[in-house]
């Protein structure tokens, strides 16, 4: 019960410390001794166990002989001031298309294509060493480090694969580029500037 409730709270985006505090309040209000003794360290251990189990399950799926192709979709993002490379894995298993959130890896080095590539290859080699044989598609956003023709991340991943790789530049990101350019032209850029200022104010 304690583990499942902690995982429910974490899945909503609460920090480990917030989860521990919320569960402590629940224990006190409803006199549930089963929820006692929880702290942020224990919540962290629960999360590590859950992530480890999930990654092992995904690795087992990749090994399955019925799965002959893998597709990766990556995106760099920033959350609370920390940079992450977000990676999804898509595969077809027993007639069902699986779209799995694989991992969000924090990036402490410069966000160059080479650094991201090295980090990604290291992770995939540990997860499933034969990923190069099954990789047929890489999707990404419009960042120059991702789509660079000579040394972009997708280009490096395509060189690493054993077969020809289909490269997909996300249509939504392509539309975003056009919309962003259009918004910049409204009222000589003043509309975009005011909207940005308002969003910063609301976030703070």
What are the tokens at 148?
């660079």
Residue 174 lies in a domain: no
Domain that holds residue 11: 2-56
Q: Are residues 49 and 70 in the same domain?
A: no
Predicted local confidence at residue 173, as pLDDT: 63
pLDDT per position as a tens digit, 141-199: 766 667 667 788 888 998 999 999 888 776 666 677 677 777 777 788 888 788 888 88
Q: Are residues 71 and 144 in the same domain?
A: yes
Query: Are the C-beta atoms of 10 and 16 separated by less than 8 Å?
Result: yes
Residue 123 has pLDDT above 80, yes or no: yes
Spatial strand order in the sheet of 70-79: 96-106, 82-93, 70-79, 135-140, 166-169
Q: Region 41-56: what's the mean pLDDT?
A: 93
Q: What is the Cα–Cα distance from 179 to 187, expressed in whole angstroms? A: 15
pLDDT per position as a tens digit, 53-110: 999 999 999 999 899 999 998 887 766 667 788 889 999 998 899 999 888 888 777 7
Q: Are residues 52 and 73 in the same domain?
A: no
Q: Are residues 74 and 163 in the same domain?
A: yes
Residue 48 lies in a domain: yes
Q: Are residues 131 and 154 in the same domain?
A: yes
Element (H, E) at 8: helix 2-11
Question: Using only C-alpha atoms, what is the Rg of the chain?
Answer: 21
Q: What is the pTM of this model?
A: 0.69
Residue 184 lies in a domain: no
Q: Are residues 9 and 86 in the same domain?
A: no
pLDDT-derived band at 133 (thresholds 50, 70, 90) equals very high
Q: Are residues 138 and 52 in the same domain?
A: no
Residue 38 lies in a domain: yes
- The string of DSSP codes covering 17-73 is HHHHHHHHHHHHHHT-GGGTT--HHHHHHHHHHHHHHHHHHHHHHHH-TT---EEEE
Nearest to 138 by CA among 127, 129, 148: 148
Q: Are residues 97 and 140 in the same domain?
A: yes
């Amino acid at each position: 019960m304690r583990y499942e409730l902690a995982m429910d709270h974490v899945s909503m985006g609460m920090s480990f410390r917030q989860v521990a505090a919320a569960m402590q309040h629940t224990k006190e209000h409803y006199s549930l001794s089963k929820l006692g003794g929880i702290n942020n360290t224990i919540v962290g251990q629960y999360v590590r166990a859950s992530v480890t189990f999930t990654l092992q399950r995904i690795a087992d799926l990749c090994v399955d002989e019925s799965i002959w192709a893998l597709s990766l979709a990556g995106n760099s993002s920033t959350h609370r001031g920390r940079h992450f490379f977000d990676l999804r894995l898509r595969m077809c298993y027993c007639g069902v298309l699986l779209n799995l959130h694989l991992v969000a890896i924090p990036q402490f080095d410069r966000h160059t294509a080479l650094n991201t590539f090295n980090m990604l290859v290291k992770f995939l080699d540990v997860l499933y060493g034969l990923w190069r044989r099954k990789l047929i598609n890489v999707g990404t956003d419009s960042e120059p480090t991702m789509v660079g023709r000579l040394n972009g991340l997708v280009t490096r991943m395509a060189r690493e694969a054993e077969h020809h790789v289909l490269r997909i530049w996300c249509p939504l990101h392509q539309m975003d580029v056009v919309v962003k350019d259009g918004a910049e032209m409204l009222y000589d850029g003043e509309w975009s500037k005011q909207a940005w200022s308002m969003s910063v104010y609301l976030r703070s």
